[in-house]
Structure 1
Amino acid sequence: MNARERGPRVSAAAVIRHRLFWPAAVLVLLLLANVFFTPGFLSVELKDGHLYGSLIDIARFGAPLILVAIGMTLVIATGGIDLSVGSVVAISGALSCLWITGLEDQQSVTGVLTAVGVALGLALFLGLCNGVLVAGIGIQPIIATLILMVAGRGLAQLITDGQILTVNSAPYKLIGGGYWLTLPFGVLIVLAVLGITAFLTRRMALGLLIESVGGNAVASRLAGIRSRGLIVAVYAFCALCAGIAGLMISSNVSSADGNNAGLWIELDAILAVVIGGTSLAGGRFSLGGTVLGALVIQTLTTTIYSIGIPPETTLLFKALVVTAVCLLQSPAFREKALNRRRRRPQAAPASADPKVKVPA
């Protein structure tokens, strides 16, 4: 076989081995499955200066999950985990809506910006608390964030007094339910956060430092990296992303529900990170893979509703698809499934000529 014949096969194998191949393939398959049940699923229309369509809806409704997953990616890259993002989502939405309900004019842009600033400030503070518990005191990440996961949900219900707060503010509605430049405003926020994060982690040394801390924290500290400050900053950023997601969710429905807002979004975010190819053990991470993983989860949710799967089996169907994606990403599983185990080299057979002596 010459080099020209061998080249395309090698390149195709490299594409299949790429960590983003299987999430992208599953996303395409889900979209095609929707086309089979809904012929106009991929169509996008421009009405009244806004883009409409199922693809736009997937991006708009998946924006909060993408934001939370971006923050979760950096936390997992340091070898940690953050289970409190769902509670931070609820707290952020509850505090902003409570502030807006106390305004004399809910249409005031200044008042809405103040509410947004206060909510994000509290989210940032909660993230700093998580980081201090993990990096400063030395509590295991799953325990430190579990404290806020439980207490934060109670704090959100305390802010709303156990009720659903409703607001009627056009400026606030823009965050999660409005459009700008024909696109949903939430999608533009996600693109801005993703662009800033990618610039800081891939164009600067910050990403390498995060990966080094996640790969070997002791060696990183001995090399002069201030791992504690870096871990605190990562947890604060994750909480900030969750706070923005909370604003989106509450803005989209013009209300705040301290009990159900952001419920179990931390699990979907972790799944999105894992589907995107980032290891839970820490180290190397992929922001593009995380975005693909979040889109897979949101598309899967849309598919479940569009093809009429019974609500009782929704979580089971979702778990099966996610499990299939994770198995497809595993090289060991693919080798076993395709019977491509590496063969050990066999010993050379003894000579059949009796005159030839084989050394002992």
Structure 2
Amino acid sequence: MSESIKAGVLGATGAVGQRFIQALENHPWFEVTSLAASERSAGKTYGKAANWRLESNIPDNVRDMEVVPVDPKKVDADVVFSALPSDYAKTVEAEFAKEGFAVASNASAFRTAEDVPLVVPEVNADHLGLIDVQQDNRGWDGYIVTNPNCSTIIMVPTLKPLMQFGLEAVQVATMQAVSGAGYNGVSSMAILDNIVPYIGGEEEKMETEPLKLLGEFDGSEITFADIDISASCNRVPVMDGHTESIWAKMADKPSPEQVKEAFLNFKPDLGDLPTEPEEVIIVREEADRPQPRLDRNMGNGMSVSVGRIREGIRYTAMGHNTIRGAAGASVLNAELLHKMGKL
């Protein structure tokens, strides 16, 4: 991997765009060569255009980089990481793919498209075979690969090892961090001293995306998993880290100890990718873990922590929603694409 791959970030000034820049700083394979954002940011240096809100400083390699318009003719890159709003991404990402870019998207615009891979590398790397189908169908030189919703991506790695027990039904109640809505997404007056028991579109995503992720790819299409999923999503006054209470019904009725062993033994081999966590699932033995403040940064924010595995089967899962659930997921997808020779 001696030659760097040129990478661009679309929607670079937003919350997820900033996480992309953080994830790509000093990356061994990808070099940030383009930052694209809205017209009001284009033409400015990134340091002036971005209202940087992460705990680290703006990386020196992008501080003085000029922001360009979100236009494939203006972006100098081989792969672009999309942090665009979904309604905008529907048009723009297709334009980039048509022009030959590999698009690793965090947006929801193409997740449900039949010929677009929706991928969590540890769960369904083989679904990347849809890229060839997509290019044939659409006549694109490039392609789009998506990662799932931030709450879905925390739950699905824990469901994958349960498939061996005949997973039939899942119920999940989420407690989702405010960062999932963006900096201006939830006002302080709405969330402080409060819980908001509704997140627009979230429950529908949690009930449908896992069926595609856990489905089987036959070389031309995906047969969705036959699992009944019911979700109830809540916004809570936590900065980062989505917590989920999960109930799983399985035909084989495994014991809590069997489920724990399945989690501990879930160690997919992706080939030592830079963003890949050492442990996909971390099992906490403490009665009161996982907790967002204590566990969200495990595995550099890419691990999912589980605990309270009880008869039923019931357990708690928690992960970092803007790293594992957003930017880090797209970067991991792109690393796998490179490993496969797709970049």
Q: Same fold (TM over 0.5)?
A: no
> Looking at CA atoms only, which structure, 1 or 2, has the larger radius of gyration?
1
- From the two aligned structures, give the one with the greater strand fraction: 2
| TM value normalised by structure 1 | 0.26
| TM value normalised by structure 2 | 0.27
